[in-house]
Amino acid sequence: MSLTCSLYTNGQWHDADDGTTFTRSHPLNEAAASTASAASLADARRSVEAAAAAFPQWRDTSPGERRRLLLNAAEQMLLREARFIAPMAAETGATAHWSGFNVHLAADILREAAALTTQIEGQIVPSNVVGNLAMAVRQGAGVVLGMAPWNAPLILATRAIATPLACGNTVILKGAELSPASQGLIIEALAAAGFPDGVINYLTCAPADAPALVESLIAHPAVRRINFTGSTPVGRIIARTCGQHLKPAVLELGGKAPLLVLDDADPEQAAAGAIFGAFANAGQICMSTERIIVDHAIADEFVALISRRAASLPAGLIGPVVDMKTVTRCNALIDDALAKGARLLSGGKATSVQMAATLLDGVTRDMRIWSEESFGPVKAIIRVGGEEEALAVANESEYGLSSAVYSRDSARAWNVAQRLQTGICHINGPTVHDEAQMPFGGCKSSGYGRFGGRAGVAEFTELRWITMQMQPRELPF
């Protein structure tokens, strides 16, 4: 039975202004997975107006009350854990394990945001003016627009709004066209937690309407911060629009995460980290290991280990990819690599969204998979001669989100990590690793700005300079 999802504005669920809807199809059988309201420009405007009207009171709400509501929201998420499984499976093909992981990390994000409400700190800045008390004060900025994708729909949608709420902003979440019902359940949980009307608002729209609707939201004067998680091409459009309207943005975009296996690495640990990082959620994670860069000295042993692990991965564990477009793209990458001399170690081309874990050895620069993000379970193994070549190969990518280094020499690994051009690096751990309190984000074509912890507070507050003259000040005239 198809799921339904409405818009949420000013504390009320409602249909789109003109009553239109759009349908998301099930990735496995093309049946209707969900039917969601297709917001109009008028719906978007009302959403901003509701959030703007609620902002002054929410900004001035005590940190203790904001903390209480965010903790309530975390509990409401956990109470709905079983209810998230069906919509995530129907809309994105997610396994029950991936759905459960999403619920628990989303709850952690809300708890971390709750802890931040009393960590929004300013400072006293010494002034050269006698009797002048100068303060740097952080305050909520206004309405925050958050846009989250489908691949980790609960984690990324919750991240888009949790810290902004903690900082005293009101929020509009624009749900992904591929997971509207899954993300709508987040809003249901937050509404049940007791947030005041207008503080949280939810919009979904038909794919064809998204460009105009998003542009209208960014352009609205009341929207003061934007965050977007998604592809680099769309992120560039968001960045240009934000620049045109002078709106600060946090952008977490595409990745081509390298995992470096140095000649002194523990091959078993490196193989385990590579398999998890490459194939969790069928490789459809921004941090997914895309390039396995291994030193010639250890390559044969490592490749034998990782090949056995990949071949033994059950399809039900990694789950299906989201649609046949992904299959077509991944198949083309496989064809291109094999035609140019790569060797297929496991998996191969698919005829359905249930793709096998695929490893290609001997990948070279002339192959598309060297530089293109697969965003699926098709991964490249690149053999290199030494640490310097490994670094050069890792850093030549246009992307710079996550990375990993495996070595038994911690000082050596640290020095390599320091030189990697990525926002995130894990030593002797997989590229896929997220915690609510960490400064999460990338560089280069992977975007800019940071989610998480105090870094997130800096992104979603206005830093103001306020002075108080404590004694009469002599002025020149």
Catalytic residues: 252, 286
- The 3 state secondary structure assigned to 296-313 is HHHHHHHHHHHHHHHHCC
Written as six digits, the tokens of 51 are 């959030």
Residue with tokens 């309530």: 72
The whole-angstrom separation of Cα 302 and Cα 226 is 43
Residue 209 tokens, joined: 């309407």
CA distance 236 to 242: 10
Residue with tokens 């902004």, as numbered in its chain:
164
The two structure tokens encoding residue 58: 């929410």
Cα gap 215→233, rounded to integer Å: 15
How many angstroms separate the Cα of 278 from the Cα of each of 169, 191, 272, 313?
A: 36, 36, 10, 12
Asked if residue 136 lies in contact with residue 126, where contact means CB atoms within 8 angstroms, the answer is no
Question: Which residue type does 326 have?
Answer: T
Q: Which helix (H) or strand (E) holds 274?
A: helix 267-279
Beta bridge partner(s), residue 251: 228, 448
SS3 404: strand
What is the rounded CA–CA span in Å between residue 60 and residue 360? 56
Say how far residue 269 (Cα) sits from the centre of its chain: 26
3-class DSSP assignment, residue 159: helix
Q: Is the dihedral of CA 433, 439, 441, 442 positive or negative?
A: negative
Contacts of 321 (CB under 8 A, 6+ apart): 27, 93, 282, 284, 327, 330, 353, 355, 376, 377
**Residues with Cβ within 8 Å of residue 184, at least 6 apart in sequence:** 5, 6, 8, 36, 175, 202, 204
Quote the tokens at residue 48: 């901003």
